[in-house]
Amino acid sequence: MREITLSQAVNEALAEEMRRDETVFIIGEDVAEAGTPFKVLSGLVEEFGTGRVVDTPIAEPGFMGLAVGAAMTGTRPVVDLMFGDFIYLVMDQLCNQAAKTHYMSGGKLNVPLVLRTNLGATRRSAAQHSQSLHALVAHIPGLKVALPSSAYEATGLMKTAIRDNNPVVIFEDKLMYNDKAPVPEEEFLIPFGEANIKREGSDITLIGTSSMVQVCEAAADILEKEGISAEVIDPRTIVPLDEEALLKSAKKTSRVIVVDEGHQSYGITGEIAGRINEKAFYHLDAPVLRMGAMDVPVPFTPALEDLTVPTPETVAENARRLMSGEMIHAA
Catalytic residue list = 60, 129
120: left (phi over 0), alpha (psi -120 to 50) or beta: left
Of residues 259, 138, 121, 139, the one with CA closest to residue 192: 138
**How far is it, in rounded angstroms, from Cα 287 to Cα 271?**
14
Contacts of 135 (CB under 8 A, 6+ apart): 262, 263, 266, 267, 268, 271
**What angle is formed at CA 68 by the lines to CA 63 and CA 73, rounded to 5 degrees?**
120
Of residues 66, 87, 73, the one with CA closest to residue 23: 73
E strands, 168-241, are 168-173, 180-182, 196-199, 204-208, 230-234, 237-239
**How far is it, in rounded angstroms, from Cα 289 to Cα 275?**
12
Expressed in percent and rounded to 5, the helix, strand and coil fractions of the chain are 40, 20, 40
Q: How many CB atoms lie within 10 A of CB 178?
A: 10
Cβ atoms of residues 41 and 214 within 8 Å: no
Q: Is the dihedral of CA 130, 135, 141, 145 positive or negative?
A: positive
**How far is it, in rounded angstroms, from Cα 271 to Cα 31?**
34
